[in-house]
Structure 1
Amino acid sequence: MTSPTVRDVVWSDASWLNPPAEAVADTEGLLVTTREGSDFWRTTSYGFVRDDGHALLTAFPPGSAVEVTFVADFTELYDQAGALVRVDAETWIKAGVELSDGHPQLGAVVTHGTSDWSLAPVPEWAGHEVTVRVSRSADAVTVRARRADGPWRMVRLAWLDPAAEARAGLFCCSPQRAGLRVRFTRLATGPADTSLH
């Protein structure tokens, strides 16, 4: 897949859902520090609802895409960062890298009332810059990711009501602790992908 032209979003032009403990913009990007126990999840298997993860969001209409680039040192179970698509508390998609089973995992959670979860190990991505791209077309959100400037990997194809008013952007969470620090280096928008493959 060739990435269409994207334009950077100024941090201050996006808005926070659940502001983090700290977010500091500098010449290298936006350094975000999480609050204790932050997460996005609804019910499945665990039985709880968490809707207090940190997300900096911009408009995500049909026919558009959002890219999030970040680097982080995940050390605790479920430390995570990536891109979030949000309609409301019961309808959202998060995708990115998460520490699980002792390794970084590339995955996604799709939530329509209740959450699901899929993962694939990417130990070679540890400590590297990662970009997650969410692309919205018709009734689908296509999720891709890559390490640095490597090839895009397909992560998920998820249904989203084409009439839904959605926002998308960066997110990070630390369900088991406080103080995860994630360096986001880019938030960008552009046209949706022209094809699935």
Structure 2
Amino acid sequence: MSAGSIAWTQGRWTHEPIAAVEDGADLVVTAAEGSDAWRITSYGFVHASEHALLAPFTQDTAVEVEFTAAFSQQFDQAGVFVRIDDEHWVKAGVEYADGQPQVGAVVTDGRSDWSVAPVPEWLDRRVLVRVSRSGDALTVRAAVDGGELRLVRVVPFPPEARAEAGPLICAPTRPGLAVRFHAWRTTAADAALH
């Protein structure tokens, strides 16, 4: 990815959403009911029906996605998806779980894990998720309404891997989830972890 904004038309969908409509500079995406990404752990199932709009994600770059976290149903989610292949991927962003928005990540290396932290004040607000790729790691950060980025997760990630990344939306439990994405861009990777 070269630095700067990425046009919505530059990506390819892992699974086509119900709709993806440009509205000015924004992209409004409607998810299919039951869409999700998860592998095995705790639940025993594999879900590989996420809607992720992906473009190449090279070493020493960062991808940023901004969206409005207008969620109301269990597991409504949006953020960034980073994919190597079907069994090696990361999703990071905001997910509505147990009655409130949670910022977190799912890291999948054959099997998925999940980490979240409650951010009830982020509901219906503009969220930025940034994933930097540098060395042997991804660094996930997030912010709300232009505020300071906070560290969400540091993830082992093979430097030689060919990967793709971009906006993600899933609606595991209901029809009709539409998310307004405001920006998709790439920049240099973060210079330091701290």
Retained in 2: the 8 A contact 1:72–1:181? no
Q: CA deviation at 1:79?
A: 0.4
Residue segments in structure 2 that go unaligned for 5+ positions in a row: none
Distance 1:15 1:115 in 2: 23
Q: CA deviation at 1:77?
A: 0.3
Counterparts of 1:1-197 in structure 2 under 5 Å?
Answer: 7-197=4-194
Residue segments in structure 1 that go unaligned for 5+ positions in a row: none
Distance 2:177 2:136 in 1: 34
Retained in 2: the 8 A contact 1:90–1:111? yes
SS in 1 for 2:176: coil
Distance 1:60 1:191 in 2: 11
Distance 1:131 1:147 in 2: 6
Retained in 2: the 8 A contact 1:23–1:30? yes
The two structures have a TM-score, normalised by structure 1, of 0.96
Q: CA deviation at 1:72?
A: 3.3
Listed one character per residue, the Cα deviations across residues 58-99 of structure 1 (whole Å, up to 9, x for unaligned) are 110111110000003211100000001000110000000001
Distance 1:87 1:64 in 2: 16
Listed one character per residue, the Cα deviations across residues 108-162 of structure 1 (whole Å, up to 9, x for unaligned) are 0000000000000000101100000000001100000000111101000001111
Say what the alpha-carbon RMSD is for the aligned residues. Answer: 1.1
Distance 2:44 2:175 in 1: 22
Distance 2:3 2:183 in 1: 11
Identity of matched residues, %: 53
Retained in 1: the 8 A contact 2:69–2:122? no
Q: Which runs of 4+ in 1 moved over 6 A?
A: none
Read off the aligned partner of 1:40 and give its amino acid letter.
A
- Counting matched residue pairs gives 193
